[in-house]
Structure 1
Amino acid sequence: MLSAVTISLVPEARGGPFVYWDSLTDGCREAAERGFDAVEVFPPGADAIDPRELRTLLDDHGLSLAAVGTGAGWVKHKLSLTSPDGAVREKALAFVRSIMDLAAQFDAPAIIGSMQGRWGDGVTKPEALRHLGHALFKLDTHAADLGTVLLYEPLNRYETNLINTLGDAVTLLTGIGAEHVKILADLYHMNIEEANLADAIRNAGPRIGHVHFADSNRRAAGLGHTNFLPVISALVEIGYAGYLSAEVLPLPDSDTAARQTIATFRQIVG
């Protein structure tokens, strides 16, 4: 398993669970200095990143791109894959595809988290799930065309009322026949929704394509009450060899959160 750390370039998301902010240049430099293998980037849109500049930054600092987030689609542009408005859903699909196209240039996946939306306000739960499944089916095809995967992230009940557990995500993806959509297992969300984190990981098995490495309080690993050893054992059992990416609050500050994360990573992963 490899380490990664988050960089948010979205001012509207300030206060959220991202370690580094505002500057891709500074974020990559600091991630390399702390010893991370990769960065996970959250841009305002695909056109906010120059692929040549990003490639240079990654190469200069010996980093990989772990994933690219689509959260700005909701936070900044108010786009949702489950909106009752069909035109909004189409714009949301286009936004996700553009992020997928950017990420694929670096053999990295895109992430769908908050853009999955929720039911209510003009859309019933069955309708919202149908919209979500339809969108993921289309994006699964796009991922296949790109030769990459898409990451779908179950969120806790306070952030969505659609899919909250890894098991529910497996059911959704199996139901639509998705072959190129993997599950993002976020340990913070799982701490709220799963009865047993390790069992949930084992049950999801090879469907897991990415892990957000966060403690129970969404702070850096080691600053909450999550027992990470059973989690790592379960990931080893399912043959997971991807990233443990720190999508955590930058508390008490970014550098301390980064140092705490990499220290815990080295302690439990080696």
Structure 2
Amino acid sequence: MKSCITISLVEEARGGPFVLWDGLEKSIAFAAELGYDAVEIFAADFAGGPESIDAAALKSMLDNAGLKCAAFGTGAGWVKHKLQLADPDAGRRSTARDFVRTIIDFAGQFGASAIIGSMQGPSGHTGDLETARGYLCEALQDGGAHAVQYGVPLIYEPLNRYETRQCCTVAQGVSMLESLATDNVRLLCDLFHMNIEESSIADALITGGKHVGHIHFVDSNRRPVGLGHMQFGPIIAALRKIGYDGYLCAEAFPFPDPHEAARQTMRAYRYWTGT
């Protein structure tokens, strides 16, 4: 298992569960200094706008630091543009899928996956859930098929009941993925959400099995690992049992500050993985 840390470039998300916030160059350099293997980036724009990332510059930064890019989040589609893949309006759904494709295309240059989290909708508790789930499945099929050309999967994240009515547990996520026409979608298992929804996080990871494609490595209170009450021994054992060799990525509140949160996560990663 490899180490990873989140970098947010979206000002509207400040205060959210992302560890590093000081821009790409400083954040990548700091992650490398601490010994991380990769970064996960939450960015505002991938389509050439004023907030777009320069791909060549990012490649240079990563190469100089000896880091990989594990994944790119799509959440700015919701945070900035209020796009969701289960929007009742067909035009808005199409725009949301197009936004996701731009991220898949950008991420593909780095051998990285795009993550579908907050864009999955619906976050409210009204409306036709079956229809919304159908729209989400259509979008995942589209995105998973689009990502095949880059040799990477699309990543889907079940969220807790307070953030979505789509899939809230790993078992629900597995059931949905197995219903898709594509086999190129994997699950992101976020330990914070799992702490709310699963009776046993370890058992849920075993249920996820081959479908588990990414882990958000965070404690029960969404602070860095070691600052809550989660029991990580059974979690790491379960990941080893299913043969997981992907990233353990810190998506946590930058508590007490970004640099110490990054250091604490690396200490915890080394302790639990024995590296």
Q: What is the TM-score normalised by the length of structure 2? A: 0.96
Residue 195, structure 1, aligned to residue 202, structure 2: no
Contact 1:45 1:95 in 2 (8 A): no
Quote the offset at 1:147 in angstroms. 2.2
2:257 is matched with 253
Secondary structure in structure 1 of the residue aligned to 2:92: helix
**Structure 1, unpaired ranges of 5+:** none
Equivalent position of 1:27 in the other structure: 27
Contact map agreement 2:192 2:218 (CA 8 A) in 1: yes
Question: Any conservation in 1 of the 2:123–2:162 contact (CA below 8 Å)?
Answer: no
Q: In the alignment, which residue of structure 2 is the partner of 1:4?
A: 4
Q: Which whole-Å CA distance do the structure 2 matches of 1:147 and 1:246 have between them?
A: 24
Deviation per residue, 1:56-93 (Å, 9 max, x gap): 00011111001100010000110000011111111110
SS of the residue 1:21 aligns to: coil
Aligned partner of 1:41 in structure 2 is 41
Deviations 1:187-240 (A, max 9, x none): 000000000000000011010000000000000000000111111111011110
Q: Which amino acid in the other structure matches residue 116 of structure 1?
A: Q
**CA distance, structure 1, for counterparts of residue 263 and residue 22 of structure 2:** 19
Q: How much does 1:175 deviate?
A: 1.0
Shift of 1:138: 1.1
Moved over 6 A (4+): none
- CA deviation vs aligned residue, 1:117-174 (integer Å, no higher than 9, x gap): 1165874111101100111111121112332211000000111111100100000111
Matched residues, number: 270
Say whether residues 1:140 and 2:162 are aligned partners: no
User: Residues 121 and 167 (structure 1 numbering): CA distance in 2 closer, same or farther, change over 3 Å?
Assistant: closer
Moved more, 172-181 or 203-212: 172-181
Length-normalised TM-score, structure 1 = 0.98
Distance 1:61 1:12 in 2: 28
Select the residue among 144, 148, 153 that pairs with 1:149: 153
Distance 1:86 1:227 in 2: 44
The answer to whether the Cα contact below 8 Å between 1:10 and 1:22 also exists between their aligned partners in 2 is no
1:15 aligns with 2:19: no
Please give the root-mean-square deviation of Cα atoms over the aligned residues, in Å. 1.2
Percent identity, aligned pairs only, is 52
Structure 2: gaps of 5 or more residues? none
Asked whether 1:174 is paired with 2:178, we answer yes
CA pair 184-121 structure 1, distance change in 2 beyond 3 A: closer
| Counterpart Cα distance in 2 of 1:159 and 1:22 | 27
Structure 2 CA distance for partners of 1:73 and 1:227, relative to 1, 3 Å: same
**Alpha-carbon distance between aligned partners in 2 of 1:3 and 1:30, rounded to the nearest angstrom:** 14
1:72 aligns with 2:76: yes
